[in-house]
Amino acid sequence: KESAMALSQLFITPEKDLEGKKIAVQATTKAEDLFLHKIASDLPQMGQVNFFSTTNELYAALRKDYVDAIAGQFQRFQDAKIPVLWRPFHEAEGTWFWWGAKGAEVAKQLYLLMYEHYVHHYHLDHLLWVWNSRLPEGYPGDDFVDVVSVDVYLPHYEATDYAADYQALIAASNANKVAALAEIGFLPDAALLAKSKIPWAYFMTWSKEFCIGETYNTKQRLKDVYNHERVLSQKPVLTK
């Protein structure tokens, strides 16, 4: 379909289900410290480390602190036959996260390592793999990506369909892939999307100040976007 769609609150995990569970976090861990400060060279190709089956200290830490920790949670969703949009190593072109600190190509190798381990070792076949970068040198390849996505935080509000971001994204990946606005500050203009037919499959506004209060998105704009006839959501938003 040519319509732009917003999938609102597609998957919900109750907080009580995550209590006491080890989930990958942004704070520095042993794996991050090794990666950022003790590893002089870039990562080898995925075949050289045999899908994380190695005694190398870096890979052992990555597997324990991230890959295996998350896999256990994903198994629960697979057992319940619930598909998951999985966006690992997001904003790979940025240096603000440890996985992008050495460039998008290194982030790509981390992504491929995780893909191979989850698909061939854990057989997690319910994951929809979402790549999140606009740099062509970081693109893992069509065989390893289901959805291409981008994060966009505009400095100020303007009515937009994020068309330029879509063109940059598909130029760095593949126009035949499903495309998404994985994170945004300002909501897209649904009326503009209806006219331009930029095929964003979904969008997600970031939390905190971007959705609490009206500094970034007013209540009227929320109504206009989520209740637009070309936007899909679970239920009407802010009907009053």
Annotated active-site residue 214? The verdict is no
* Whole-number Å distance between alpha carbons of 211 and 95: 26
Annotated active-site residue 2? The verdict is no
* Whole-number Å distance between alpha carbons of 226 and 7: 10
Amino acid identity, position 212: I
Contact indicator for 58, 39 with CB cutoff of 8 Å: yes
Q: Which residue among 19, 57, 93, 183 is the active-site one?
A: 183
* Whole-number Å distance between alpha carbons of 69 and 86: 15
Q: What is the DSSP annotation of 67-124?
A: IHHHHHHHHHHHHTT--EEE--S-STT-SSSGGGTT-HHHHHHHHHHHHHIIIIIS--
Q: Which residue among 57, 91, 93, 209 is the active-site one?
A: 91
Q: Which residues are catalytic?
A: 91, 183
